[in-house]
Amino acid sequence: MRPNFSRLTVIPLLLAAALAGACSEQPGERTKSAEGVALLNVSYDPTRELYEEYNAAFAAHWQETTGQRVTVRMSHGGSGKQARAVIDGLAADIVTLALAYDIDAIHERANLLPASWQTRLPGNSCPYTSTIVFLVRAGNPHGVRDWGDLIKPGIQVITPNPKTSGGARWSYLAAWGWALARELGTAEALQNPSAAPGFAAAQQEARRFVSALYGHVPVLDSGARGATNTFVQNGIGDVLLAWENEALLVIEKLGAGKFEIVMPSISILAEPPVAVIDHNVDRKGTRKLAEEYLAYLFSARGQELVARHYFRPRSAELASVAARRFPPVTTFTVAAVFGGWTQAQAAHFDDGAVFDQIYATSKAAGGS
């Protein structure tokens, strides 16, 4: 028994040695697998289904043109979290994130791509756009029609935490923009609101509206998918502020009869950008492949897949076809209303900025 046992303890040691050997080969595998080349696309939450299909289409396209087999690996998560991972060394060839601010951060903090990244591809490097819509329960029991209805007594709104979720930042800014337009009288004023008379007062009102809106939010999930799960799976809340593509996907995947989409009168033009991470592709020798991967997104086939997964395609030809699926909506841009992402981030989402103040004051006032 005794000698037996001592012999037994040797087994884990051998096992560990074998594993150590097996493992040391692992890192190389990522770039040069035996069958061909591999790409890593680091993306945000709601693009899972799109890229799953797109990757297959692209692999077929690449094999046809070059005869080379390509494997595209995916990593999904909250946009900010994903950008941070790339900054900390996640070897992404491509990033496809929720907002330009996060890719700017990759340039600013780690200098892995040039500042001019957004000019390298058409349409501000955004192969698709989307907007923020309301997802309500079947029959729209609370009669929610527009942003203003969200702060009626008793309504619970589900949206993720803008500090961690890209989608939530778009929602927050959409609400702000709507309130601004209401105060300024017309949606046209959003083309250049700071020039409009009464702008300062309107900003105050917008802030009041957004504060009231977050007073109706019972839970702040960290990502868009978490919020959707809270709304759909756990049955919390009356309205979900969602990406349009996410809302359409929920209806497709989780039953048409259970939810409805409400399109607000004004929403934001959400532009999720894509970029090649120069530093990583040059190191791995995958630049050509990575650039083609993004270019193909803008091709007819790519745009078709984009539309099929409920993103609004950039392509003009497809726009008319897509119009049936995507009802027209008055949108405004972050650049026009907030002066771009850097300013919007500093004014609204940084530590101690407006979003934090909203919660600080709601606490001081003995909030609900």
Partner 1 sequence: MRRIKQYSILPGFGLTLGITLVYTSTLVLLPLAGLFAKSAELGWRDLWQHLAAPRALAAYGLSLGASFAAALIDAFFGLVVAWVLVRYRFFGRRLLDALVDLPFALPTAVSGIALTTLFSEHGWLGMWLAPLGVRVAFTRLGIVVALMFIGIPFVVRTLQPALLELPVALEEAAATLGAGRWQIFRRVILPTLWPSLLTGFAMAFARALGEYGSVVFIAGNMPMRTEIVPLLIMIELEQYDYAGATVLGATMLLLSFALLLAINRLQRWGGRRAGAAT
Partner 2 sequence: MDAAWRSDRHREPAPCALDGLREPRWARCLLIATAVGFLGILLLAPLAVVFAGALSQGVRAYLAAISHPDTRAALRLTLLAAAFAVTLSSIFGVAAAWALGKFEFRGKSILTTVIDLPFAVSPVIAGLIFVLLFGLQGWAGPWLAAHDLEVIFAVPGIVLATLFITFPFVARELAQVMQAQGTGEEEAARLLGASGWQIFWRVTLPNVRWGLLYGIILCNARAMGEFGAVSVVSGHIRGLTNTLPLHVEILYNEYQFAAAFAVASLLTLLALVTLVLKALLERRTGKMEGW
Interacting residues with partner 1 (CB under 8 A): 78, 80-81, 84, 87, 105, 109, 161, 163-164, 217-222, 230, 233-236, 349-352, 356, 359-360, 362-363, 367
Q: Per CB under 8 A, does 158 bind partner 2?
A: no
Q: Which amino acid does the sequence have at 104?
A: D
The total of other beta-carbon atoms located within 10 Å of residue 297's CB is 25
The pair of three-digit structure tokens given for residue 340, joined into one six-digit string: 């771009």
* CA nearest to 339, candidates 208, 177, 188, 213: 177
Q: Which one of partner 2, partner 1, none is in contact with 195 (Cβ closer than 5 to 8 A by kind)?
A: none
Q: Does 48 bind partner 2 (CB under 8 A)?
A: yes
Q: Which of 90, 155, 212, 354 binds partner 2 (CB under 8 A)?
A: 90
What number of chain residues touch partner 2 (CB under 8 A)? Answer: 43
- The three-state DSSP-derived secondary structure of 262-277 is ECCCEEECECCCEEEC
Measured CA to CA, the distance from residue 77 to residue 46 in angstroms comes to: 9
Q: How far is the CB of 167 from partner 1 (least distance, A)?
A: 14
Residues 6+ apart with CB under 8 A from 246: 46, 167, 224, 228, 310
- Write the burial class of residue 65 (CB in 10 Å: 0-12 exposed, 13-18 middle, 19+ buried): exposed
225 binds, among partner 1, partner 2, none (CB under 5 to 8 A by kind): partner 2
Asked if residue 27 binds partner 2 (CB under 8 A), the reply is yes
Cβ burial 341-365 (10 Å sphere, 16+ → b, else e): beebbeebbeeeebbeebeeeeeee
**Cα 293 to chain center, whole Å?**
19
Say if residues 177 and 268 touch (Cβ distance below 8 Å).
yes
Between CA 333 and CA 10 the distance in angstroms is: 65
> What type of residue is 344?
A
Interaction with partner 2 in 205-234: which residues (CB under 8 A)? Answer: 223, 225-226, 228-229, 232-233
Nearer to partner 1, 51 or 349 (CB): 349
Smallest distance, partner 2 to C-beta of residue 79, A: 13
- Residue 30 binding: pick among partner 1, partner 2, none (C-beta 5-8 Å cut-off by kind): partner 2
Q: Does 89 bind partner 2 (CB under 8 A)?
A: yes
143 in Cβ contact with 305 (< 8 Å)? no
Which CB, 82 or 131, lies closer to partner 1?
82
CB 43 within 8 A of CB 225: no
15 binds partner 2 (CB under 8 A): yes
Minimum Å gap between C-beta 140 and partner 1 is 20
Shortest Å distance, C-beta 263 to partner 1: 28
Closest approach, Cβ 23 to partner 2, in A, equals 6
Give 165 or 331: the residue with its C-beta nearer to partner 1.
165
Contact call for residue 73 and partner 2 (CB under 8 A):
yes
CA triplet 111, 115, 117: central angle to 5 degrees?
105
3-state secondary structure of 348: helix
Minimal distance in Å, beta carbon 31 to partner 1?
27
Q: Which of 61, 66, 75, 330 is close enough to bind partner 2 by CB under 8 A?
A: 75
Per-residue tokens: 236: 């919390």
With CB under 8 A as the contact rule, the residue among 56, 60, 201, 254 that binds partner 2 is 254
Positions touching partner 2 (CB under 8 A) are: 1-2, 5-6, 9, 12-13, 15-16, 19-20, 23, 26-27, 30, 40, 42, 45, 48, 73-77, 85, 87-91, 109-110, 223, 225-226, 228-229, 232-233, 250, 253-254, 283
